[in-house]
Chain A
Amino acid sequence: MNWRTAWKLARRGLDWRFKGLRLLLACLILGTAALSAIGTLTGAIERELRARGRDMLGGDVEFALAGRPANAAESRAMAALGTVSEGVRLQAMAQAPGRAAATPVELKAVDPRWPLYGTFSLQGGPAAAPKGMTAWIAPGVADRLGVKPGDALQIGAARLTVGGVIASEPDRLGEGFALGPTVIVSREALTASGLVRAGSMARWKYRIRVPQTAQPQAVADGFTARFPDGGFGVRTRDKASPGLDRFVSRMGQFLTLVALAALSIAGIGIGNGVASYLEARRESIATLKILGATSGDVARVFLLQLACASALAIAIGLAVGVSVTPLLGHALAVETGLVIDGGALALAAIYGALIAMTFAAPPLLRARQTPAMALMRARVAGAAWNRRGAALAVAAGLAGIAGLAVITAPQKLLAAGFLGGAAALFGVLWLVGWGLTKAATRWPAPRDPVWRMALGNLHRPGAQTGALVLALGFALSAFVLLAAVETSLDANIARSVPARAPDYFVLDLPREKAGDFRALVNRVAPGATIRTVPALRGTITAFGPAERMTRVADLIQIPDDAWALKGDRGLTYAETLPEGNALTAGQWWPAGYAGPPLVSVDEKLAQALGLKLGDRITITLLGVERSATIASFRRIDWDTFGFNYVLVFSPNALADAPHNLAATIELPARAKRPAVARALLSGLVRALPSSSVIEVGPVLSQARDILVQMGTAVLAAASVAVLAGMAVLAGAIAAAREARRYDSAVLRVLGASRGQVLGVMLAEYGLLCGALALLALGLGSAVGWAVVTQLFDFEWLPGWTAIGAVLAVGVSLVMALALAGSAAVLRTRPAQVLREL
């Protein structure tokens, strides 16, 4: 038979309402929709990040310095690379003169070349960098101070005029986490403010537009090789926002893995769906064979029918995926609009087709290889068929899917690990299915006929135990996984608001004004807890044993936990061990210590760098290198959310460097009122015009928002997996129910009551669910742990009560599905069922 004739027969045999193929359709639509939506969304975000990298960075390359501007040699070298735009960022306090209101802001001083790329605009139209004493203010500043264009604004010693309210700042995303709304001023205004002094927490940023032919990374590498000890933080347009890049790519990868998991679960549904479909067409297949159709002809006819249904499901899935992308984007606070990403859709379609064909292969091959007469005889005993052929086809399909997943994954090892885990899960569930069947065979027959029959149903010929264990195991594990990840994320979010956090951070507090500061705070908010520490910023440039120190500039890759090596860090010195810290090795220096400079290091950083007591650490502070010997390691309780420093020096190591203090203010409960906040901020800005204040509340809620968005994305993606699991579950139970119709009818002919027949079914599912709930708890928790701790780097804080409740709901759902399915069988008269069989 040629393909044309096969198509003719396939078309005649296909019910265009897709009766019998709806499980395949539902599973494939769900899986393809999830994959296409996630692929489209992450693709859109990544493309946006890549395309806007230059705008976001405000240049092709950025060199950043903490606490000092570039020296003459460095400036000359930068100028030789291309057009340079120089800017300064620092925390400051803004005040509307004549009013009591004051607010912390992020002051951004720019030169006339800013922005090198992208368009800056004010509300009302595009604008250039501010000149003279004009300030462009973010809407947050306008709201909090009640100022509008034309009004005066006081920052430090500078009296500025509000020139306009910022509508769009091209390099906003590249500036990173903001500790207050932005005020953009000219370099002249910054100088007039008097805020930049030796030791102040200012960051100088040099953005460079390089010639079109130059490679930004090569330019950056050349510069840092020339000034290895300059302490420059370097970024290029390709990685304008490394944090955001990493977040998007990790989320994208996680979501893709979840979608693949959903599609794999859907694969089981597809396999079950196709098996039921072909089972229902056993007679037609036999008839075709009797009429002279070969095995190949039968395979062609049904392959075309399945391909038709799959193509339709994939098309619907892609359409659903494209239309839900904006909603998913909205949940993640990313406005994508309607995007049609050919690549992502093609990939989702290929995955869908591969999964459909892989899981449809075994039942198709089974139908193909079964002789006509055996098909008619195989109602009770399974007909013999070539399992090796099916195993080979499935293995080839799975290898294709795994290959595609690994090739297209940014983190290939992670993807391979995930697929390995999924394969192991399949293996475990298959083994459990096999083991349950065997155990049921050997178990002594219970005296109660209901339990005896239920046990028999697990192992007798034609039993659906294997398929049910796979479907139930996957679905219940998905429930547990979802609950474990969600409760852990919630607990992490809750922890992001520490039980005891200061209300304000104060930066750039001059040492000589520490007394005035304490007096002011105690006057406005009596009973407030005030803590001050010396605050310096510097860069770690070398570490290791004194005789063979490792230069950070020579490292090809910075180890994962050694984030402190990236760019400049906050540094401090202390006489005593800081609060919330615990020594884990070595000794703290004695009071009044005057020997060689010492340093105490965070134990995690020490582990990441392989540091030992007695090793040396070199830092660059205001362009000057200083070294100290490691005297101790500390464990830092980061949850205390106070001043936590990875490096704490002995006072004699740093005290001579020009620096200010940083302070935390913790208000007593009765003082946590807007009136106190207003009085405190305006008092501070008047008394300490060069200091800046960070309000902790808004910063925490910013961090919290990110976590909540992440939780939403996880929930959305995991829901797809759970939906797929439920579809599979319903399908598996429906297929098993079909196999039970005959038995139920015969039992009722023999005098069994409806209750007894129902009891057999419930007992069978009860036995299965009981065994699988425990397994799902273990499997789901293990995968959940890996996702939470390895992928998200969060703490594993599952809510076991919630997980138990979700599992109970899952088990009840299974029982309800089984019960609902049986009701139809029980309502049918036995004679009718027997006639149809």
Chain B
Amino acid sequence: MPWPLKVCQFRVVTRPCIIDARALTLSLGTGDGRVEILRGVSLQVAAGETLALLGPSGSGKSSLLAVLAGLERASGGTLRVAGQDFTAMSEDSLALARRGRIGIVLQAFHLLPTMTALENVATPLELAGESSALARAEAELVAVGLGHRLHHYPAQLSGGEQQRVAIARALAPAPAILFADEPTGNLDHATGEAVANLLFERTKNAGAALVMVTHDEALAHRCGRIVRLADGEIVADAPA
């Protein structure tokens, strides 16, 4: 994809920088009810890098992920993702920017309940105008081991299966970055382990960067880098 090669600051990497966030702030509410969620976060992520965001509840890690993924607009600072300046984009431009470049996996799966597994995976491809959406979606579901569950609705799938569908859906458009918010948080240990394996494997195969929010130290240590947050600030950033 044609974004410029750039060496990320603070870290010497040989790969192009795919996320470049500087002094990001995020405030919600107004007046006395105003809450500072992010307080000047700067973070660079290289293409293909795997990064875990760790921190206690309320530290701002999920909010940071939402801002980096273009789901939430930062109140201040600058953000370039996959070569595009997210800072100045409207809601709709952010949605368009996500198409095909960014995949997102959430703790609660968020599958569309009225669509089958196949249709769920095909949706982002169809939104991007992909003509062979269903065929690609099928291939992706086969790759996550759900070739036999193509036409099942979310309610007919187990939690682990639902999260595998969500991973397939996120990776189907071959994104450059995959964001995952507590991807195993709703699963039992064994299933969570299997889903995590799948997540790392599929991300690696796709050559995508992975930014994952988690509470789970063990899971975080499977990433190449761990960034720790507290009170909306980065307090540590080191290789795992």
Contacts and interface: CB of A to CB of B under 8 A. Distances in A.
B110 A5 contact: no
B71 A372 contact: yes
A296 B92 contact: yes
B231 interface: no
A294 B92 CA distance: 5
Contacts of A48: none
Given A5-B127, A371-B72, A290 B114 contact: no
Contacts of B66: 373
B232 interface: no
A1 B95 CA distance: 12
B136 to A, nearest CB: 14
Contact of B128 (A15, A289, A292): A292
Interface in A372-392: 372-373
Nearest to A294: B92
Contacts, number: 73
Interface stretch (B39-47, B48-56, B118-126): B118-126
A14 interface: yes
Q: Name the residue in B96, B111, B124, B126 with the highest tally of chain A Cβ atoms < 10 Å from its Cβ.
A: B126
A81 interface: no
Interface in B51-100: 66, 69, 71-73, 91-92, 95-96, 98-100
Interface string B121-151: 0011011110000000000000000000000
Contacts of B128: 292
Interface in A81-125: none
B212 interface: no
Interface in A222-277: none
A364 to B, nearest CB: 16
Interface string A282-308: 011011111111111100000000000
A92 to B, nearest CB: 78
B98 A13 contact: no
A286 B110 contact: yes
A12 interface: yes
B129 A291 contact: no
Contact of B126 (A9, A283, A284, A287): A9
B110 A283 contact: yes
B169 interface: yes
B18 to A, nearest CB: 18
Given A8-B126, A373-B71, A14 B92 contact: no
B124 A291 contact: yes
A13 B113 CA distance: 8
A289 B71 CA distance: 8
Interface of B: 66, 69, 71-73, 91-92, 95-96, 98-100, 104, 106, 110-115, 119, 123-124, 126-129, 169
30 contacts: A1-B129, A8-B126, A9-B123, A12-B115, A12-B119, A13-B114, A13-B115, A284-B112, A284-B114, A287-B111, A289-B95, A290-B98, A290-B106, A291-B104, A291-B123, A291-B124, A292-B96, A292-B99, A292-B100, A293-B95, A293-B127, A294-B91, A294-B96, A295-B91, A295-B92, A297-B95, A297-B127, A371-B71, A371-B91, A372-B71
Given A287-B112, A373-B71, 17 more contacts: A1-B129, A5-B126, A9-B123, A12-B119, A283-B110, A288-B123, A289-B95, A290-B71, A290-B104, A291-B123, A292-B96, A292-B124, A292-B128, A293-B95, A295-B95, A296-B92, A371-B91
3 closest residue pairs by CB, A with B: A292-B99, A294-B92, A291-B124
